[in-house]
A and B are shown apart, each in its own frame.
Chain A
Amino acid sequence: MAPPLPGGRRDVQEVVAIPRTSGLYRSLAYLRKGPLSAEGWSEESVRDRNWERVYRDRWQHDREVRTTHGVNCTGSCSWKVYIKDGLIVWETQETDYPSLGPDTPEYEPRGCPRGASFSWYAYSPLRVKYPYVRGVLLNLWREARKGGQDPVAAWASIVEDPEKVKLYRSARGKGGLVRSTWAEVTEMIAAATIHTIKRWGPDRVVGFTPIPAMSMVSYASGVRFLSLIGGTVLSFYDWFADLPIASPQIWGEQTDVPESGDWYNAAYMIIWGTNLPQTRTPDAHFMVETRYHGTKIAAVSPDYAEYVKFSDTWLPARPGTDGALAMAMTHVVLREFYVEHPCDYFLGYARRFTDLPFLVLLREASAGGKAGYAPDRFLNMADLGLEAERAEWKPLVWDEGQDKPLAPNGTIGYRWDGSGRWNLGLESPDGKEIEPELTFLHGPDGTLPVLFPYFGDGERQVLLRHAPVRRLRTKDGDLIVATVYDLMLANVGIARGLSGDYPKDYDDPTPYTPAWQEAITGVPRGQAIAVAREFADTAARTRGRAMIAMGAGVNHWYHSDMTYRAILNLVLLTGGEGVNGGGWAHYVGQEKIRPLEGFSTLAFASDWLPATRWQNGTSFFYFATEQYRYDDTKLLDVSSPLGGRFANLHAADMNALAVRLGWLPSYPQFNESSLEVAKEAEAAGCATDEEVARHVAERLQKGDLRFAVENPSEPENFPRVLFVWRGNLLTSNGKGYEYFREHLLGAGGHILAEPKDDPGLHTVQLKEPAPRGKLDLLVDIDFRMTGTGLFSDIVLPAATWYEKHDISTTDMHPYIHPFTPAISPPWEARSDWGTFSEIARVFTRLAKEHLAPQQDLMMAPLLHDTQAELAQPLGKVRDWRTGETDPVPGRTMPRFFLLPRDFSLVYDRMITLGPRAVQQSAKGVVSSAEEAYGQLLAALGPSPAKGVPKGPSLADDRNAAEAILRLSGTTNGRRAVAAWHALEKTTGLTLAQLADGREQEFFSFNDLVAQPRLTITAPTWSGIETHERRYSPFTSNVDFGIPWRTVTGRQQFYMDHEVMLDFGEGLPLYRPPLERPPFPKGSEGPAQERPQVTLRFLTPHNKWSIHTTYGDTLTMLSLFRGGPVIWLSPKDAEAIGVRDNDWVEVFNRNGATAVRAVVSHRIPVGVSIMYHAPDQTVAIPATAVTGDRGGVHNSMTRIVPKPTHMIGGYAQFSYGFNYYGPCGHQRDEFVVVRRLGEVRWLVD
């Protein structure tokens, strides 16, 4: 063995008096021989190794800074950024997360190659360095401002001149952005905003910025400004189709999922359409480690995705058919673990924590030549004439002991009746314990034929299956009821000896057996049975430790909610929710703003004003981009054969109905300015809010005032100013990208299908020709030039994530950690907080001359977690427009109220934490934050603002972060305890112990810089987090008996809202994907010039980018194929004469693009996969079909909203921002693929 020290050559450097660095020394030394070893094969060299300093110098640095990457990725990884010679040089992951304990893998290292390429952006050619304005517009502006013309008047002179408007709108996206100054652009923006408020109303000023959790201060910046001026804030989670609508439906919770460390507690895991190694890169190791730990893993994926390689078995269900597989697995679980060999744990869980024992009324019904009964709504106390507060909102179960229906605690009526009995104790109002009956199979009243809608064959059919019932005598006649459990069993097809269309056994291809699903999904029935059985068996043995990870692959479809509900059957029936290692794990776009109260206060300026205009994104863009006129989806095709009340409506009409009934928000509100409506009401002599509301309702009823949504193509109803920051609206998430270009921007899209002459609209008007260009001003605030920037009128330089203060949290881990600046913002970049503060300052200066303090007539939907969620009892739809009911604001229609707007105080309020912050609320829990407010004033000092009462300063982003930390329960133990005490009052439970031992903890910003901190358990979230226990949702519900925020207070299988039933979605069932051909019937599409193939078009997340981010860095582009691609199966490629790496064009009715083909046998035949989102800034040539530059993945998609996503006013089906509303799904599309031919780049 050779000696380890290089000490033996000391003689060389000492004897020879030649500097060791000289060439002479080196060449002399080269002649010397060192000692030989290994039989002469090895020589110990005597040469020095000073050259090794090259690499030491390369990796030496001056400073390490803790920061992270914001927005667009839910990773929330803490990173070290290295600074050398004043430059950001590179980054590596932090490895200092607090430990999860001795027997669990740790979170380190969190991060992925995409994040590791971020430092490239800081000095890249893509960096937005200065404020830019399109030259055409800038010339108009400078011309209009000549001679010191007032800025607002100057803006008006441009946008009220049709010639000028056309000139600069049509120039969008065609280059020509020129450098301006902050002073000039902020004045333009302020002038445009003020002009819009004066001319059209504040709700025509709109902002779009995505997921806050991963940089909440930056999110809050513009949203706070918009909230203060009365602008409209767009949602994103539903718009991205990442919102699992099934979650609010089942739990009354937007989304709550386990941290990835909890996977290690799972004993069985099904990974279902979420590509963990690719999209949860930093967390995927837990999946591999838990495999070593004894967990079995099954993968459901249509292609051989990355996660399949980590699994024990692969169920290759055809795209979009996952619901069928899940229903068959539900069939197996119910039959084997509930009926044949009842599992006590499952049954006990079902009784206590689900709606399975609740009673559903049956009504007579017939369809498809079959007659019988159909499940209707839940039976409630009022039905039986039982006296109680909120009796209509107290559904019943059948008590075994007393053999009669009783109302258990915890249903939604108890939440708002002041009784303090909103808890999951199985107690009746007289304090007796209830033993809920699950089935009437052996009851005295026999069975009845029940009709269940069935869509599995692509047609609307009904199944007739007998179910056990009970009859109840009331003074108004007999009522027939069944339990949800009995209805579930009948629907799923578990015969139990009953007659009807029941399957004989698993091999009978009758819905919903394993054999039935085999024909639909292609998964062998034996495999479906085996995985279902093993999943449930594991859960039975481990008390619920069986988990299903799910995501975009199953969630980005039109019927995503039904697919989810079918899959969630499995975790609910096996008692996995609220159990560590069990339950659902939804991983797409989900996020957890752990310090929710402080964040909301700051973002929505609720420290000053009680309401923000929250608009659901999908509806907004559906109308704003005129996509509704192209929507030829027939609601009749998706409605229940047992329903049909809404089947003749167009989705746009359904949306208009949702607006006038107070279900969904809608901004712009009216065809008049909300300021003018307020003035008019005042002039009409209305003195109180109530009078004003009634007056507005009357005007709407008369038709004297109209909802803007009813005529989206009238100029008076256009959105006018749109701010986009922290996101890439157009080329990343803009479903129907070509429609955005054509109709919203007037910049020319490439829509390949003509709109239908008559799309079948009833209440929503069409104006011909369709508007081309609605926005007066599009402002993009970003650090890099994206597709959105290219089409914007103004582009502002933002600080990168390495150049500002902010905070980050996620679902994926339980910590909170900071952004800190590694360098000051270079060039003329500013933090988002700085940018919007500056815009607010200039706005306020101009507003003082242009806008007097005045009242703003607010319209708001009936909100979840407020008393308004009890507005529309029994889930019945009563339209005041058709006279079914009276227009009563806040009950049968939206809420209307006045909000005073003092535009001259916007800046002062922006930078001051207002007095309303002393009360904090989240998810219906209201508690005092007076102490925290006082501490903030001491810590941050008073704001320099003069026009408002003294309050803590929010003058910079760091102060804003401190305010969030101090006001929130998850980061301030005393606030957590206060919130628990507040919830104790409603529930009658003892809860403050949930924050035990952490009351004294508070995290300041510096604490986070030192090390990520474990957040504190607070009622904002449904899980318990301690150093010993991993976060899993609903553990506080299950362990402490806190109800879910639903009608029954339990996890619901059954959805009894009238619209749900009308579309056949009362119970979970399988709904096939929409079959939308690339071109509508009667339209051939472009001439077929060469062989082409029609394929299903899937757009999952990319391996080498996070949406458009990173996909344009040199590193990530170099790693794979240097630009966007589409994956094809060998068979489909061969059919069109395409080899791997050949150029192809991809198109359908919505648009076209040109990319290269990747041919691989891991892709099934008939399917194409284009990883979203290739930006248009990189490597996209012209398509032959349009002759112009190809678009992006969203060129081939379009918005098709689903009506059941629009309902409201009914318990968990009540509006919440990013909580409910139609999803912008994009998977139900087909495209044509063919060789491109000549590659034309359209550049010199």
Chain B
Amino acid sequence: MARPRSHLTGEPIDQPDWGPNWEDDLAGAPERCRFDPDLRGIEQQVEFAFEQTFMFYLPRICEHCLNPSCVASCPSGAIYKRQEDGIVLVDEEACRGWRYCVSGCPYKKVYFNWRTHKAEKCTFCYPRIEAGMPTICSETCVGRIRYLGVLLYDADRVKEAASAEREQDLLRSQLSLFLDPRDPKVIERARADGINDAWLKAAQDSPVYKLAVTWGIALPLHPEFRTLPMVWYIPPLSPMLEPLEAKGSLDAAEVLPAIDAMRIPQEYLANLLSAGDTAVIRRVLLKLAAMRMHTRRRMLGLPEDPAYLEAAGLTAGDVEEMVRLLAVAKYQDRYVIPTARREGNPNVARAQGAASFDELIPPEGLLTRARERRPQA
């Protein structure tokens, strides 16, 4: 019979009191949800009552922010953002275990390894990304909820974007950094900066660009942290309470007001995804609801009803494309990842393994020029 033991000390624990998914599926919620900061402003409205139960899952990884506070908080300069793909990494050789990054990340996504005494974080599976493969969390997600793609942005305007005065303006200011990959001026400048066709094409086909910019149905997590996070979320279209119980129909006239009566309070989603701005949430939910109205009517052989499309600011074409990306979602549509550029490697032949022991056997003498002893590539 195995007892629970501490991962840290190996000592038995009679009553473990925390774990990675401790509150999964609202476990212990009545006691602990009162401390949920995302409930601010709606404490009176949300009762932890059976009839009003709501929940949704929010898988969180490192945001690989444009303005990463972990990088800024590291006294050793061990954390950096890769210029070729924006992935934020902790240099495990340079980390000195200060742990300022742990408290410096508002998303709590840097962890301290008590055995190595170094910080660790999500690496965005860079060895896979470099090979043009999706991250493990994306490829293995059975909900097929994750999309990966390239976004071109103006790095010189990051400070300006993060400095928007009102928290509610941060979404707009971050969106303003993202460059239209089909804009000829952007293409021209990108080429000049050494971005090749493969990367440009990937940016143009990016599912992320469509979700975040074209349709605006994906939102940044806690934009008010001002780190300009780069993992965005489509808010859940939760069960609707009132209208269905009364009439049980999905007519546009009934559903549009129903958006406001959803089981998950809009305020809660706004506290998570739009710095408290419920108008943003409502806009996204309208689009998602309109998409469902449209497809449902088509499924039942009913004529199109332009009312909900107009209300959501979408065309039938938009909706068809949204359904394709969200529902049909083929592998190659979800992940559009150009491979890393290695052709500039000056020692490509060696990297290919032409003389495979070079890296393993130390050069003879500290000051000998290693290059002289190497066969010319």
Contact = CB atoms under 8 A, between A and B. Distances in A.
A and B: partners?
A: yes
A304 B50 contact: yes
Nearest to A77: B142
B1 A1243 contact: yes
Interface string B219-256: 00000000000000000111110001111111000000
A110 to B, nearest CB: 7
A870 to B, nearest CB: 45
Contacts of B22: 1120-1121
A296 interface: yes
Contacts of B278: none
A1161 B26 contact: yes
Interface stretch (B165-173, B291-299, B304-312): B291-299
Given A1-B193, A10-B346, A1119-B20, A293 B327 contact: yes
Interface of B: 1-4, 7, 12-17, 19-22, 24-32, 48-51, 53-56, 77, 80, 82-84, 89, 91-94, 123, 125-128, 136, 139-144, 152-156, 158-159, 189-190, 193-195, 199, 236-240, 244-250, 291-292, 294-301, 322-323, 326-331, 341, 344, 346, 362-363, 366-371
B348 to A, nearest CB: 12
Contact of B239 (A26, A52, A102, A313): A313
A92 B136 contact: yes
Contacts of A1242: 1
A1177 B2 contact: yes
A1162 B249 CA distance: 26
Interface string A33-49: 00001110110110101
B7 A1118 contact: yes
Residue picked from B190, B240, B244, most chain A C-beta under 10 Å: B244
Contact of A289 (B136, B326, B363): B326
Contacts of A313: 239-240, 244-245, 248
A37 B81 CA distance: 13
Contact of B1 (A17, A295, A1189): A1189
A105 interface: yes
B249 A534 contact: yes
12 contacts: A1-B154, A1-B156, A10-B346, A18-B366, A49-B91, A288-B143, A313-B244, A1103-B24, A1179-B1, A1179-B4, A1241-B12, A1241-B14
Contacts of B3: 1179, 1241, 1243
B248 A5 contact: no
Contacts, number: 287
Nearest to B288: A292
A45 B80 CA distance: 9
A774 to B, nearest CB: 26
B83 to A, nearest CB: 5
B193 A1160 contact: no
Nearest to B24: A1120
Interface in A64-99: 92-93, 95
Given A309-B54, A1120-B24, A1178-B2, A41 B158 contact: yes
A292 B323 contact: yes
A17 B367 contact: yes
A341 interface: no
A883 interface: no
A105 B143 contact: no
B16 A1121 contact: yes
Contacts of A123: none
A294 B328 contact: no
B140 A285 contact: no
Task: Sort chain A's interface into a size bin.
Answer: 35 or more
Q: Which has the most chain A C-beta neighbours within 10 Å: B16, B92, B240?
A: B16
Nearest to A296: B250
A775 interface: no
Interface of A: 1-7, 10, 14, 17-19, 26, 30, 37-39, 41-42, 44-45, 47, 49, 51-52, 54-56, 59-60, 92-93, 95, 102-106, 108-112, 116, 267, 277, 281-282, 284-285, 288-296, 304, 306, 308-309, 311-314, 316, 524, 526-527, 529-531, 533-534, 538, 541-542, 1103, 1112, 1117-1123, 1127, 1129-1130, 1139-1141, 1143, 1156, 1158-1165, 1176-1180, 1189, 1239, 1241-1243
Contact of A282 (B128, B142, B322, B368): B142
Given A292-B295, A293-B295, 11 more contacts: A3-B83, A5-B194, A17-B369, A18-B366, A93-B139, A313-B245, A526-B245, A534-B248, A1122-B13, A1140-B28, A1176-B1
Closest 8 CB pairs of A and B: A530-B248, A294-B295, A1140-B28, A294-B296, A294-B299, A304-B53, A292-B327, A289-B327
Contacts of A60: 127
Best-buried of A2, A30, A110, A1178 by chain B (most CB within 10 Å): A2
A527 B136 contact: no
A54 B31 CA distance: 42
Contacts of B21: 1119-1120
Contacts of A103: 328
Given A39-B159, A59-B127, A541-B301, A5 B344 contact: yes
B198 to A, nearest CB: 11
A38 B142 CA distance: 39
- Interface majority SS on B: helix, strand, loop or mixed? loop
B299 A289 contact: no
A1241 B19 contact: no
Contacts of B140: 92-93, 109, 111, 116
B136 A1 contact: no
B28 A1158 contact: yes
Given A1160-B25, A1161-B26, A1 B152 contact: yes
A312 B93 contact: no
B4 to A, nearest CB: 4
A536 to B, nearest CB: 11
Contacts of B323: 292-293
A1156 B15 contact: yes
Contacts of B245: 313, 524, 526-527, 530
A1 B48 contact: no
B39 to A, nearest CB: 14
A105 B331 CA distance: 9
A14 B371 contact: yes
Contacts of B370: 17, 19
A1130 B244 contact: no
B301 A1161 contact: no
Contact of A1160 (B30, B56, B126): B30
Contacts of A316: 50-51
Contacts of B125: 59
Contact of A1159 (B17, B31, B156): B31
Contacts of B144: 105, 109, 285, 289
A1129 B50 contact: yes
B23 to A, nearest CB: 9
A527 B248 contact: yes
A53 B298 CA distance: 52
Given A284-B143, A1120-B21, A1122-B4, A1162 B53 contact: yes
B347 to A, nearest CB: 10
Nearest to B297: A294
Which residue, of B20, B27, B84, B346, has the highest number of chain A Cβ atoms within 10 A?
A: B27
B155 A538 contact: no
Contacts of B27: 1120-1121, 1127, 1140, 1158-1160
Contact of A309 (B20, B55, B93, B327): B55
Contacts of B247: 530
A4 B19 contact: no
A2 B330 CA distance: 32
Given A112-B142, A292-B323, A1121-B16, A311 B239 contact: yes
Nearest to B296: A294
A26 B84 contact: no
Given A30-B77, A93-B139, A1141 B1 contact: no
Indicate the member of A1, A41, A42, A1180 with the most B CB atoms within 10 Å. A1
A288 B4 CA distance: 36
A80 B258 CA distance: 45
